[in-house]
A and B are shown apart, each in its own frame.
Chain A
């Protein structure tokens, strides 16, 4: 696969991880994941053997040791590296993940359906990843309300703020109010105790002016 596809895949996988685990240093992690996703090809270019030592899971050991210093950065680098290996398993020749112990290639899909580097299929995967990156970015940056609506913020809870007294009637009088504020207007809540057996709760819309 071309480097741009690997970068797109690394960005997507890091966004998903950041969304699931609520990782910090989002932008730095994104840059690191994108950069490290081309690292295997760079190493193989230096060694002269493509799909060689650069595509080996041996790199997992030094990369995972970065967790000691910073979890966010360690996760970003690890995701960037593993995304490259994962995406390469979908190519025709696969990925020799256990090189140099075992030169066997790990592959996905039937041979005819695998992706040839530089072909239209490669570019199609890139475009598909870009389409996935857009919603992933919204979720990872906390802007998912644009997609699923702001339902969480439209529910208000009203509970008694004064400390509970040791009166024998405490349980009987402890009331929790739960409002759905679909109209997004402020409410005026009045609780009036008529007698020992009756309490009235009035809910009125507040005027915008006051």
Chain B
């Protein structure tokens, strides 16, 4: 984990996101310098907001669940005053459109920064929020997501099958031509079919 780069991004007021990394190490390092809240899961958003308020508030008020989400956001911002709050949560990909909207509202305050991770593909609903993040391990994500690759599986299957067809024709030269051709085509098709079965569809 590139913690120095992450800290620089946070100081610049940018949100930080990791692909397939454990945030606990990052949390341990940053909580020494910043006010941090670690939320294991981003949803349900209301209870997560209550957790965040309880973590930063001096008064432990047990009646927060009576408030609406909008009111909880206002309480959180009021409690923060001018302090910078870093909210950690895992599984960014599990955000629902509604919960993402709430977190985006929080993101509109300059003193609230998010540090997240994700393990699966991001749905299009989350892209507007995702774009506000700086991805720390871009190369790792690029390799894992396969966004920069061309899959030539079927061409390779066809090449292997074609080669097998010619090998069969050559090896079976003592047979009658018709049998050879039909057998060769059948053999190549069997090879192609087997490769699809063994190699799997893409």
Given contacts A19-B167, A89-B152, contact A111 B146 (CB under 8 A): yes
On whether the beta carbons of B167 and A20 are closer than 8 Å, the reply is yes
- In this complex, what residue of B is CB-closest to A152? B174
B153 cross-chain contacts in A, Cβ below 8 A:
107-109
A183 contacts the other chain (CB 8 A): no
CB distance from B159 to the nearest CB of A (A): 8
Closest chain-B Cβ to A50's Cβ sits at a distance in Å of: 13
In the complex the two chains form, is B149's CB within 8 Å of A106's CB?
A: yes
B81, chain A: closest CB distance, angstroms = 48
Interface membership of B182, Cβ < 8 A: no
Spot the interface stretch: B18-26, B67-75, B95-103, B194-202. B194-202
Report the minimal beta-carbon distance from A135 to chain B, rounded to whole angstroms.
9
Chain A residues with CB under 8 Å of B170's CB are 19-20, 139
Bound together, the chains give a CA A34 to CA B156 distance in angstroms of 21
Given contacts A16-B163, A113-B200, A106 and B150 within 8 Å (CB-CB): yes
- Per-position 1/0 for B110-143, Cβ under 8 A of A: 0000000000000000000000000000000001
* Residues from 145 to 165 in B contacting A, C-beta threshold 8 Å: 146, 148-153, 156, 163
Contact (Cβ within 8 A) B156 A89 = yes
Contact status A107-B149, CB under 8 Å: yes
* A105 CB contacts on chain B under 8 angstroms: 148-150
Which residues from A are CB-within-8-Å of B186? none
Asked if A20 contacts B166 (CB within 8 A), the reply is: yes
Q: How many residues of B contact A (CB 8 A)?
A: 20
Contact with B along A21-45 (1 / 0, CB 8 A): 0000000000000000000000000
Residues of B within 8 A of A49 (CB): none
Asked if B171 CB lies within 8 Å of chain A CBs, one says yes
Closest to B172 in A: A148
Known contacts A20-B167, A86-B156, A139-B171: A103-B148 contact under CB 8 Å: yes
- Chain B residues with CB under 8 Å of A93's CB are 143
Q: How far is the CB of B170 from chain A (nearest CB, A)?
A: 6
Question: Are A107 and B150 within 8 A (Cβ)?
Answer: yes
Chain A 81-120 residues near chain B, CB threshold 8 A: 86, 89, 92-94, 103-111, 113
| A residues less than 8 Å from B201 (CB atoms) | 110
Q: Which residues of A contact B174 (CB under 8 A)?
A: 148, 151-152
* Minimum Cβ distance to chain B for residue A42 (Å): 24
Q: A19 vs B201: C-alpha distance in the bound complex, in angstroms?
A: 32
Asked if A187 CB lies within 8 Å of chain B CBs, one says: no
Q: Is B156 within 8 A of A110, CB to CB?
A: no
**A16 contact from B149, B156, B167, B172, Cβ within 8 A:** B167
Residues of A close to B199: CB separation below 8 A:
108-110, 113
Residue of A nearest to B159 (CB): A86
User: Does A108 lie within 8 Å of B152, measured CB to CB?
Assistant: yes
CB distance from A57 to the nearest CB of B (A): 13
**Contact: B149 with A109, CB < 8 Å?**
no
A106 with B148: CB separation less than 8 A: no
Task: Write out the residue numbers on chain B whose beta carbons fall within 8 Å of the beta carbon of A107.
Answer: 146, 149-153
A180 within 8 A of B: no
Task: Note all chain A residues with C-beta closer than 8 A to B143.
Answer: 92-93
Residues of A with Cβ closer than 8 Å to B?
16, 19-20, 86, 89, 92-94, 103-111, 113, 139, 144, 148, 151-152
For this complex, 5 residue pairs linking A to B, each with C-beta atoms less than 8 Å apart, are A16-B163, A103-B148, A109-B199, A110-B199, A152-B174
B residues engaging A (CB < 8 A)?
143, 146, 148-153, 156, 163, 166-167, 170-172, 174, 199-202
